[in-house]
Structure 1
Amino acid sequence: MFDRRQFGTLMLGGLAAPAAFAAKRDAIATPLILEDSRLWVAAAIGSAGPMLFVVDTGAGHDYIRPEIAQKLHLQQAGGAVMRGLGKDAVQGTMYIAHDVLLGGTMKEQTVAFAGYEFGNGLPDDAAGLMTAGLFTARDSDIDFDKSEWRLWRDGRPDREGLVALDSKITGPGRSDLYSNRMFVQATLDGARYRLLVDTGSPGTLLLGPRAAARSGLFANDRPYAPARTRGFGGDAARLSRRVRASRFTVGPLTVERPIITVMDPRQQSHTDDDHDGILGLHWASLLNWSTDTRAARLWAARNKRPETPESYLLRGVWLDKDDDGRGRVADVGFGSPAYQAGLRAGDVIVSPSGFADALKALAGRAGQAVSLQVQSAGGPPRAMDFTLRAYL
């Protein structure tokens, strides 16, 4: 087993050249790494690299950091408007790269990248994103057991051991620059939802606004933990919620009592345009996937990766910073220890007095005691004590 920082060593050390590799097998195999809740592939552009890219099957096209594109003197090819879960549309520049070698095994003659300033939305060592086109242009496997992507040049000969999913591989039909993406039907608490398979999303399941409303899971009398949803365009306009559902099923994978994220039904989101939500990497990595491009569908099998529970913040409180640098409560999850102690949205934490110290006081594991001084609008400061515990 190797980590993503060894990709470059493997590539420079002479992994089999694409032509020679393909001659020995029906499929071209390229290494993938699952690390830090991201799926990674290495790529060299021309004589530069190798560089690390996050595999994001939910993105519309490939992305690169603008400073890297400029350093490599990539050809500019117009602009692109990028939209995602964030509240803002982003105008970016398209770049054309030639001779892109993926994983030391497969070469693409031309790749179009959109330049995007990722900020803290992507690890610093990621040069950008590679999108679903890796797997939807030709029959491919994403094998988490073997940590590899296999591309079948002449179509996959059989899919023994895989299950055909109620699914669709399709694209927006707007431009050749946009990749076809992967959609699958899943069941949550007995209701069906159309989900985008999104390896760029680290979580389990995210329901968009309309689907969240239909599910009934975004309810003020149901225990929840406030959460911030973030994607292209920055933060979503409204806070989302982490909630516990009863059962989730997609193909051969069933998860009992899962924790999922639901967006605020009052929020506008283009996510509702062609899918109900996102199947994130946390669960997508529990399946080995295969794309059938001729039939435009997906196949999958449960792999050997163990199911691990998704976590949430036990404090059940989301803080924003007020004008005086203190922690102001944006939301308190119903059923949380803080809610039961009387903390409410709009309250200001006056002790600890700073935003960072207030966050630190609220952090911790089950059993940790929390002591605060809290002030509601127009009222005097009051003491508040509670103990963190699991409540979802």
Structure 2
Amino acid sequence: MNTPPSSPGARRTDGPAVRIGALVPLTRPGWAEAGRHLLAGMELAVGEANDAGGIVGRPLELVVRDTAADPRGAAAAVDELAHLGVAALAGEYHSVVARAAAARADALGVPFLCSSAVLDALTDQPTQWVARLAPAQSHGWRIYADFLLAAGHSRIAVAAEPSAYWAAGTRILRDHLAPRGGTVVELDMRALTPESVCDALVDTRATAVLLLVGHPEPAVSIVKSVRRDPRLAEVMAGAPAGQPEFAQWATSLGRDGAGIPFLRYLPERPGPLGARVETALRERLAQAPSFVAFEGYDTIAVLADVLRSYGTDRARIAESWSRVEVEGTRGPIRFSRTPDIGVLQWVWAPVQVVDRDPADPGRFRVLHAG
């Protein structure tokens, strides 16, 4: 799957294409809606790069591979794309999948700009080959924990499925809340049904329950059960991983899906570039773009700038991360080394805690910013 040709008015590009391998979840069990937004942002940026003359006159091309949320499939895709001669890799939404892709990219010496995955330990050891746009999980989830405390929630339940990502999130919340008088109680969703979660919440006396589970299920069923239980009328449901950002959430839950705070990586007000890209993405997606679409656009904007400035040699691309200075849709992008994170990191994309307005679930409210 490759991107479509540039618009008829584009500047002419000649010669062999400069190819970027794009890793995106496009089918189940991957979060396909997030993958579609990620790819839309990438494709928009590729088209604009080609309209501006490509990479020193050569067309830029995406070579897309569907990871379907499968770490082994993602690693195999990295092998294939490296063999095809891509200059760099881009994308991926799921943290555990991105971790597998990053490990393989590091082993093969292929530069990888990760768009959306937030797991702090994206690699086991420091590497020059991988850079990341999304804020590290420890950064965003601490901001979310501060929001919980400011909103009066100090006894938090997490309804969690087994996953390195969910386990890391639980640990971040516990470590940040405990010194501030907060408590985190884990509800193991391997042993509970959405209905029995309600009894567990009553027993634990939690004032908030966080959905550290898959979407749409069991997240949708848990929300419906909690909303319909009169004992839990004052219990807040939250989804720090961002499930309510996407249209499928609102379609599945309607007003039940409103008032559920989540993390979003957008500024409160976009600048001129962000506003222009938002308009173009809205037209391309036929709906409001999520923050993931902006991550996709910014990923290609960074790589196009690097390729124009430093060429297509993989080692030179990897060496250039620390020299990147690109105006992205959400602010100036620069990469640096951050303690306890093994990849070059943008420090930081803007972070908001947002929910859907109960009075108008199609509208988002910014509740907290970090």
Give the TM-score category using the shorter length.
Answer: under 0.3
Tell me the TM-score normalised to structure 2 length: 0.25
Structure with the largest fraction of strand: 1
Tell me the TM-score normalised to structure 1 length: 0.24
Structure with the largest fraction of helix: 2
